[in-house]
Amino acid sequence: MNASSTRSDAAPEIGIGHIACLLPAQRKGVRNLPDFEMLARAEAEFALACGVETVGVYDDASTSASLAADAVRRLPGTEVSASKLLVMIGPRAPDVLLGSDAAAVQDSVAMRSAFAFSVGDVGCTGSSFSWALARDLLIATPAYNCIVLAYVSRPIGINRIRYPVTVIGDGAFAMTMRSGGRPALRAHRMEMDGGFHDLFHVDYRMSPWYEWREHCESPDRYRFELALKSRNRLLRMVEEVLEQAWISKSDVAATLMQNVTASAFEFYEQLLGLKIHHVCRDNLRRHGHLGAMDVVLNLHSLLEEGCLRTGQYVLVINNSPVAAWAVTLWEI
């Protein structure tokens, strides 16, 4: 599948209203995680060398729906009450089967007039897909006015070390997309290759949740074949996004991506000829990998620094092992 969102000159300007990021006060070092002692030597060496020093941990009583609702409550009430849609980016594992995390959040934050639904099956790229979807829905239906997006990062079962990928931390975010918001979404591309749909999986039907283990069918396929595809896809997609906005790499003030490993930052810097902003490394080191929250947290951290001027561009790269890729250009 090859999907893209394009901007016409007649389209209204759609951007971010507000972002709220929720992170645990409690953080644990990688060596102190319960699953570290169970790792084989190569897996332990990977965990210690991937660039993650600590990860945030919520207590077991916190559900995805309750954390997402807490994040939504941190947004301005006027934007939440004005929103006609609540979009949940699907978690790694829902709170219940046959129920609805999105409906639980809608009920908890009293968004009575909003329609709530979830998007999933694209992994970390879900945030990039969701803000592009929200932008297109706002253009197609101006009456929506404002759309709330929310997501929660929690591990599957008790294991946080995903060999050969990364180390998982807890967190949640909520954000709004609205007409006239800033940063404004200027260009976007997303693509997918369904041939990797079964590269990672969890056999959950025959075992209790505390025995769930993520299984990688082929670490070599992840590290080499998928890496090569990501290299070729993202290199082209970045060029397409910049061309769509009529700018060049020299016009990009900051480049962000998801936080997986420190070596991934180096790989993409060399590939794209663009410096990955330091907030990505900082957040990887302190919080670990937060799934679809990574790029939102990184964008929020960048905006909080206040180092960019109105009119400057931020490029956001996102991908996931399913495999899905997304590139978004924002204008401050």
pLDDT at residue 7 tops 70 = no
Q: Do β-strands 166-167 and 252-257 pair in parallel, antiparallel, or remain unpaired?
A: unpaired
| Domain regions of the chain by residue span | 2-180, 186-331
In degrees rounded to 5, what are phi and psi of residue 208? -70, 160
Q: What superfamily does domain 186-331 belong to in CATH? A: Thiolase/Chalcone synthase (3.40.47.10)
User: Are 2-180 and 186-331 equal in CATH topology?
Assistant: yes
pLDDT interval class at 10 (50, 70, 90)? low
Looking at residue 200, its pLDDT comes to: 80
Tell me what the pLDDT averaged over the chain comes to: 92
**Spatial distance between the Cα atoms of 274 and 92, rounded to a whole number of angstroms:** 31
pLDDT at residue 224 tops 90 = no
* Dihedral sign of CA atoms 332, 86, 134, 288 in order: positive
Distances (CA, A) of 313 to 12, 226, 251, 268: 18, 29, 7, 18
- The more confident residue out of 68 and 1 is 68
Average the pLDDT over 276-305 and give the result.
98
Which of 5, 2, 80 is CA-nearest to residue 244? Answer: 5
Instruction: Taking each helix axis as running N to C, give the angle between helix 101-108 and helix 64-73, from 0 to 180 degrees, rounded to the nearest 10.
Output: 40
290: its two tokens = 């937060």
2-180 belongs to CATH 3.40.395.10: no
Looking at residue 1, its pLDDT comes to: 46
Which of 244, 267, 258 is CA-nearest to residue 313? Answer: 244
**Spatial distance between the Cα atoms of 131 and 149, rounded to a whole number of angstroms:** 8
Average the pLDDT over 105-131 and give the result.
95
- Please report the DSSP string for 54-90 in residue order: EEE---TT--HHHHHHHHHHTS-HHHHHH-SEEEEEP
- The more confident residue out of 208 and 238 is 238
